[in-house]
Amino acid sequence: MATEVALTVDLAIILFSATLAGFVAKQTGQPTIIAYILAGVVIGPAALGIVEVSELTELLSELGLAFLLFLLGIKMRLEEIRHVLSSIVKISIPQMIAVFLVGAGIAFALNFGLVESVLIGLAVMYSSTAVVIKMLTDKDEATSLHGKLDVGVLLVQDVVVVIILAVLAAGQPDSLAEVATTLAVVLVLVALVTIAALVSSRTVLPVVFRRIADNEEIFFLVAIAWAFLFVFVSDNINLFLEPLFGITAYLSIEMGAFMAGVAIAQLPYSKELQDRVNPLTDLFVMVFFVSVAIDLEAAQLFEYAPEAAIAALVLMPVKFLIFFSLLDWQGFGSETTFLGSINMIQVSEFGIIVAAVAVEGGFIEPEILGFMTLLAIFTMAVSVYLIEFSHQLFERFEPTITRFTSEGDFEGGKQEYRDHAVVVGYDEVTQNALPLLAAHYDDVVVIDRTVEHIETLEAEGYDAVYGDFRNATIRKDVAVSKADFVLSSSVDPAVNSVLLESVDEEATVLVEAERLEDARLLYESGVHCVLMTPYLAADRLGEYLETYLKEGSDDELEAALESDIELLDSTGSFPGPGGGTGTGTGTGAGLGAGPGTDDSNGSGSGSGSGNGGGLDE
Amino acid sequence: MAVAVEVAVAMEVVSMSDLLTAVSIMFIVTGPFLLVANRYDLPTVPFFILAGIAAGFGLDAFGIADELTLEIAQYGIALLVFSFGVGIDISAVRSVIWDSELAALAQIFVVGSVGYALSVALGVTPSEGIYVGIAAALSSTIVGRGLVQTDIQSRLVRGRLSNSIQFVQDLFAILLVLILGTGLGTGTVGAGPVAMAVGYGLALIAAAFLVNRYLFDAIGRLAGDSDELMILGVVSLLAAFVGAAQSADISIIVGAFAAGLAIRHDPIEYLGLFNGLESVRDFFVAIFFVTVGALITFPFVEAAWDESVGKLLVAGGIVVLTAVVKPAITTAVLLFRGYERRTATLTALSIDQVSEFALIIAIQALLLGQISETLFDAIILAAAVTMVTSSLSQRYDEQLYRALVNRGLLPSAHGKIDAWSDVPDNLSDHVIIVGYGRQGKRLAQTCDDLDQPYVVVENDPARRETVAAESDAVVVGDAMESYTWEKANVEDARIVLSTVASKPVSRRLLSYNFDADIVLRATDQSEARTLLESGALYVSVSELLAGQQLAEHIEALLEGDLTAADLREERQADLALRADVIQHHLQ
C-alpha cells in the first residue's frame, strides 16, 4: 500500500541541516558558506554519519558548481572586462608559480615526501571559485574592478587545473612529450569552446533569444538548455575526440558552463536571466558546500590535522602577499589591490579534486586527501570572514596599506545613474511622458519586458533595460534608489510597493492603479499621483454621454469628439499636439486653478483631471 | 592505448555522473522543442512530453535507465502541486464554492462517469476505467490559464468561469490522489484505510494552516533580507511536509499541496522568495514533464504492432472523450446553470484538454501498479495531443461557435433571455449600455441623473441581480446574438454604448447597421481607428486618455507650476471625492 512516489531522506537531511545552520549563521552574523560546510561535517561520516552521498546529491552539487559558473558567465560582458585582460594573465601565472613553490616548500618542511610535496604544491595554487564568486555575488561586487580581476584570475586557474587534472589522470607520464601533448590538446579545446561561445553570441543566439524573450518560461528554460549543451559537450568531449583524433582529454564542466554564460552575457537580455538563475544556483551550491566534507571518514580527515593547521596559517598570509604585490605591480591602487588580494587567500575545492585524482592515480595516500580537505575547509572558513569584512579591514588599515602600495593609475568602473528619471513599463500611457522627461533629465531609463518596446526605445535614443522590475538586479541596474523621478505604468500592487520601498524620499513618484483601495494605499505610502485609467475612461465617457443627451449641444460634442480623434491620429508619440489642442486654456488656467474645478465639457478633451467636475453635478 | 584506460579510471572521480548526463540530454533536447512551441504560440507542456519521447532515445543511446530521472521528476511533481497550493486564494475558494460555479463539480462528475462507463463498455477493466474517467474529466490549469489569459485580463465571464472550473478540478484532483493512493481503485481496499488517508490528509492541511499562521512569518523574520535563506527555509518546509505525508503512508502530492498552503502569503512582502520559487519550479517541472515523455514506450517504433494499435485506440478514445465529449457536456451543464450559449460554448472550448494532474495521478498509479503501461502511455499521449488541439480550438473558438449555431446544434437563445430580461414595452429613444462593469455603472448613473431611459445588456448571470436591482431595464444576453438586440429594442434606441473592449463584439455591433449611434471601446489605437472608419461615432481608448493626463501632470511638475506635494494633495482630494460618489452610488 505504500506509495512508491517517494523522495530520498538524504536530501531532506541535507536541506534541514543546512537550513538550520544557515539561520543560526544569519542570526549570529556568520557567512552562510561556513554554516553549510559545518553542517556537512556534522552530518557526514566524520561526526554523526547520518548521510551518504547519493546520486541525487552528487548531481545537485555538480549542478551547483556548473550553475555558479554559468551565472558568473552571464555577468561577463566582454566590453567590461577587456581592459583588465592582460593584467589578469600577468597576475595569475606568476602567482601560481609562487604559490606552488611555497606550498611544496611548506609540505616538504612538514615531512611529506617529495612527490607528495609537489602534488600538494600543485593543489594549493588555486583560490576557491565557489567561495570567492559566491561571496562576491552576495556582496554584489562581482562586476567591481577587484571582482573582475579575481574572477579573471580564477578562470585562468581553472584552465590550469583542467590541464593538471588531465595530466594526472593520465597516470605516471611516460615522457615529457606526452605531458606536452595533453597540455596542447586541452589548450586547443578551451580555445575551441571559447570560439564556439563567442561566435554563437554573434550569430545564432541573438536571433533565437530575440524570438523567445517575451515568454518568461521558455526564455529561462532555453537558456538553461544552452548551458547544458556546453556542459554536456565539455564532459563528453572524448566522444568526439577519440573517434576523430584518437586522443582523450578532459574539459571541466565548469569551463563549459562559464562559456555558455559568457555567450548569453553579450545579449541585451542577460540581466533578466541573472535573477532567474540565481535562486537555483543558491540551492544547488548549498548542496555543493554541504557535501564538501561529506565523503571522508574521520580518521582520514584528521590524520594530518596539525600539519593542515600549520600549512593554512602559513599559506594564507603568503597568498595574500603574493597577490598584493602582483596587483600593486599592475598599478591597481591601494583599495583594489587590497580587496582583490584578501579575496583570494583560500585553498580551492579544486585542490581537493586534484588530490582525489592523485589518489586515484596512485600518486598519494587517501590521508593526503584528508589533509587537503581540511586545509581547504580551514582556509575557506577564515577567508570567508576576511572577505565579509574586507571593506572594514581596508578602512582600518588604510594608512598602513597605502604606505606599501604605489600610486594607482588604472582606470575602470562605469558611470552610475544619479538624479535621473526611471520609467517602469513602456505603453500608450507612459510614452507621452518620455519626451517631457528627456527634455528635463540627462538620463531617462525605461524598463520593459517586451523586446519590441526595447528596440523602439533604443531607436528613439532612450536608455532601455530589458527585464522585470520585480527583480532586484534590474532595480539596482537602473539605480532606482537614486532617481529623482519615477513613473510606473504597472497596476500590479507588488511592483508598485517594491518601487516605493526602493525610491528615495525626495523623488517624485507617479504610478498607475486599477482599484480605488490600491490608489488610496499608494497615496498613503507617499505616491504623488495615481493614475486610474479605467475610472478616467469611465468618467470621460459619462461626460460625453451627458453632452450627447443635452439638447442643442451638438457642436460642443462634435468639438470634443473631434479633438479626441485627433489625439488618436497623432498616435500619441508627441504629447505636444495631443495635450496642446485640448488644454489651450487648460494648461494655464485649468492647472493653475487646480483640477477638479475645470469645466472639461467646455474645453473638449481638456485635462483629464477635470473629470472631478463632471462628477460634481 | 594504456593511457586511455587510466584516464577512464580517473574520469570517474572528476567526470560527471550519469544523472547529470541524463539531465543534460533532457534539456538539450527540450530546447529546440520549446523554440517550436514559441514559434507557433502553443503551450509548452505537450512539447516537454514530445521532447521527452525524443530524449528517451538519447538516454537509451547512453545506456541510462528512465528510472534514474524519475526521482528528480518527483521533485517536479512536488513543486508543481506545491505552487498550486501557494497560489490558492482562500476567499476565492469560498466564493467559488458558494457561488453558482458549483457547475464545475457537476461537470467533473458527468464527464468522469461518461468516461468510465464508455471505457468499461469498450473492455477496459473497471479499475483502469477510473483513470480513463479522470483523464477525461480534469482539465489542465497550466495550459488553460495560458489560453484564456486575455479573457481574464479583459474580465470576460468565460475567463473567470474556466478559471474557476479548473480550480475546482485541481482541488478535486488532490482529493483523488489521496484516495486512489490507498489502492481504492483496485477494489481490494475497504473504507477504513480511505478514511485514515483522508484523516491524515486533513491533519496535514490543518498543520499547514498552523504553520502559515505561526511559523511562516517567524521564518521570514529570521531570514531577514536574505532571499537565499528564505528559499532554503521554504524548500525545507516542503521537504518536511512531504516527509510527513510519506511517513503517514499517504501520497507526497498531498504533502506538497499542504506545504504550499503553509507558505501561502501575500507575495508583495516576499517578492524574492516567490520569484525564486518560480525558477526552481520551472526547472524541476520541466524535468518532470520530459521524464513523463521519456517513460512512454513509443508505439510502432519501440513496441510491437498489436500492442501499439491497442495503445493508440485507447489514446484515441481519451482524445475523443476530452476534446469532443467533455466540451459538449460542459456546454450543456453551463447552459443548464443559466449561462448564455456563447459563454457556455467558449468556456467549454477552453477546457478541452487532459490535466497535468491527470498525469500525476497516472504516474502514481503506474508506480503503484494500478494501471498497465499501455494505459499510462495512452493517457500521456492523449494529454500531449489534447493540449495542442485545445489551443487550436481556443484559437478558432468563434468560428467553431458560429458553425455550431448555424447547424442548429445549440439551443435557441430566446428562452433564457426572455426569462431573465426586464425591458418595458414602450421603451424608445433610449440609451443601450453594453456591459455593467465600472464604465457601464458610470454610464447608467449618468442616465439616472438625467432621467434618461436606458437598457443594460449584460451576459454574466452572476451580475444579473446587481444589474436588475440597480437599473431600470436589463437584457441578460450576449451582444453577439441578434435576439439580444431585438429584446433591447435597438430600433428605437438613440445610442448604443459598448464598454466591452472585445474586437469580435465591436465588429459585430457595427455589422448590425443599427440606426442608433454607436460608441465603442478599444484597447489599441489602430483598432480604434479602424472602428471609427467603419462607422462608430466614437471609440474610447482608456490608455490614450490616461497618457494625456499624465503628460499634463508631468509638464506642470517639470515646469515648476506645481510641486509634487501639491499634486499629491489635489489628486488625493479628487480620490476622496470619487470614493464618496461611488459609495453613495452603491447605497
Nearest Cβ partner of A26 from B189, B222, B525? B222
Nearest Cβ partner of B554 from A32, A169, A433? A433
Pairwise CB contact (< 8 Å): B367 & A608: no
Distance in Å, alpha carbon of B277 to nearest chain A alpha carbon: 7
Distance in Å, alpha carbon of A329 to nearest chain B alpha carbon: 36
Mean pLDDT of chain A: 80
CATH class of B414-540: alpha beta
Say how far apart CA B33 and CA A62 lie, in whole Å. 26
- Cβ atoms of residues B295 and B359 within 8 Å: no
Say how far apart CA A216 and CA B34 lie, in whole Å. 12
The confidence score (pLDDT) of residue A264 equals: 92
Looking from the CA of B404 toward its CB, the CA atoms found within 13 Å total 22
- Backbone phi and psi for residue B433, each to the nearest 5 degrees, phi listed first: -110, 120
CATH 3.40.50.720 residue ranges for chain A:
421-531
Distance in Å, alpha carbon of A88 to nearest chain B alpha carbon: 27
Say how far apart CA A421 and CA A446 lie, in whole Å. 8
The confidence score (pLDDT) of residue A595 equals: 32
What mean pLDDT comes out for the span A352-372? 82
Q: Which has more confidence, B361 or A614?
A: B361
Pairwise CB contact (< 8 Å): A225 & B30: yes
Say how far apart CA A364 and CA B479 lie, in whole Å. 84
CATH 1.20.1530.20 residue ranges for chain A:
40-404
Res B195 pLDDT > 70:
yes
Percentages of chain A per state (helix, strand, coil), in multiples of 5: 70, 5, 25
Res B531 pLDDT > 60:
yes
Highest mean pLDDT among A600-614, B47-61, B91-105: B47-61
Highest mean pLDDT among A236-250, A554-568, B365-379: B365-379
> What confidence tier does B385 reach under pLDDT thresholds 50, 70, 90?
very high
Closest to B208 in 3D by CA, of B237, B175, B232: B237
The confidence score (pLDDT) of residue B11 equals: 41
> What confidence tier does A8 reach under pLDDT thresholds 50, 70, 90?
confident
Res B28 pLDDT > 80:
yes
Nearest Cβ partner of A537 from B75, B272, B542? B542
The confidence score (pLDDT) of residue A16 equals: 93
- Backbone phi and psi for residue B499, each to the nearest 5 degrees, phi listed first: -105, 10
Nearest Cβ partner of A519 from B545, B562, B575? B575
Pairwise CB contact (< 8 Å): B7 & A248: yes
What mean pLDDT comes out for the span B355-361? 90
Count residue pairs from A and B with Cβ separation < 8 A.
Answer: 420
Closest residue in A to B227 (Cα–Cα): A279
What mean pLDDT comes out for the span B131-136? 90
3-class DSSP assignment, residue B80: helix
The confidence score (pLDDT) of residue A605 equals: 31
The confidence score (pLDDT) of residue A319 equals: 94
Grid cell listed for B483: 435576439
Interface test with B, best of A5, A428, A492 (most B CBs within 10 A): A5
In chain A, residues with a C-beta closer than 8 Å to the C-beta of B284 are: none
Where in chain B are the domains?
A: 74-281+303-374+381-406, 414-540
List, as one string, the DSSP characters of A135-199: HHHHTT-TTSHHHHHHHHHHHHHHHHHHHHHHHHHT-S-S-HHHHHHHHHHHHHHHHHHHHHHHH
> What confidence tier does B31 reach under pLDDT thresholds 50, 70, 90?
very high
The confidence score (pLDDT) of residue A590 equals: 29
Res B79 pLDDT > 80:
yes
Q: What is the CATH number of domain B74-281+303-374+381-406?
A: 1.20.1530.20
Distance in Å, alpha carbon of A78 to nearest chain B alpha carbon: 25
Strand partners, B515: none
The confidence score (pLDDT) of residue B84 equals: 87
CATH class of A40-404: mainly alpha
Res A340 pLDDT > 60:
yes
What mean pLDDT comes out for the span A211-229? 92
Grid cell listed for A390: 574586507
The confidence score (pLDDT) of residue A592 equals: 29
In chain B, residues with a C-beta closer than 8 Å to the C-beta of A248 are: 3-4, 7
Distance in Å, alpha carbon of A334 to nearest chain B alpha carbon: 31
Distance in Å, alpha carbon of B314 to nearest chain A alpha carbon: 25
Pairwise CB contact (< 8 Å): A228 & B23: yes
Res A582 pLDDT > 50:
no
**Three-point CA angle B152, B156, B157, nearest 5°:** 105
- Say which range, B181-190, B259-268, B545-554, has the weakest mean pLDDT: B181-190
The confidence score (pLDDT) of residue A6 equals: 53
In chain B, residues with a C-beta closer than 8 Å to the C-beta of A212 are: 34-35, 38
Interface test with B, best of A430, A491, A528 (most B CBs within 10 A): A528
The confidence score (pLDDT) of residue B347 equals: 87
- Cβ atoms of residues A349 and A130 within 8 Å: yes
Each residue's pLDDT tens digit, A282-321? 899 899 888 877 777 777 778 888 999 999 999 999 999 9
- Look at the alpha carbons of B338, B343, B345, B349 in this order and tell me if their dihedral is positive or negative: negative
Each residue's pLDDT tens digit, A83-135? 788 888 889 999 999 999 999 999 999 989 998 999 999 999 999 888 898 88
Alpha carbon separation from A529 to A512, A522, A592, B434, B569 (Å, rounded): 8, 9, 17, 31, 9
Say how far apart CA B374 and CA A336 lie, in whole Å. 65
Choose which CATH entry (1.10.20.10, 3.40.50.150, 3.40.50.850, 3.40.50.720) describes domain A421-531.
Answer: 3.40.50.720
The confidence score (pLDDT) of residue A95 equals: 93
The confidence score (pLDDT) of residue B236 equals: 93
Say how far apart CA B62 and CA B68 lie, in whole Å. 12
Pairwise CB contact (< 8 Å): A357 & B13: yes
Each residue's pLDDT tens digit, A401-452? 887 777 655 554 445 788 889 999 888 888 888 888 888 888 889 988 888 8
How many other C-beta atoms can be found within 10 angstroms of the C-beta atom of residue B399? 10
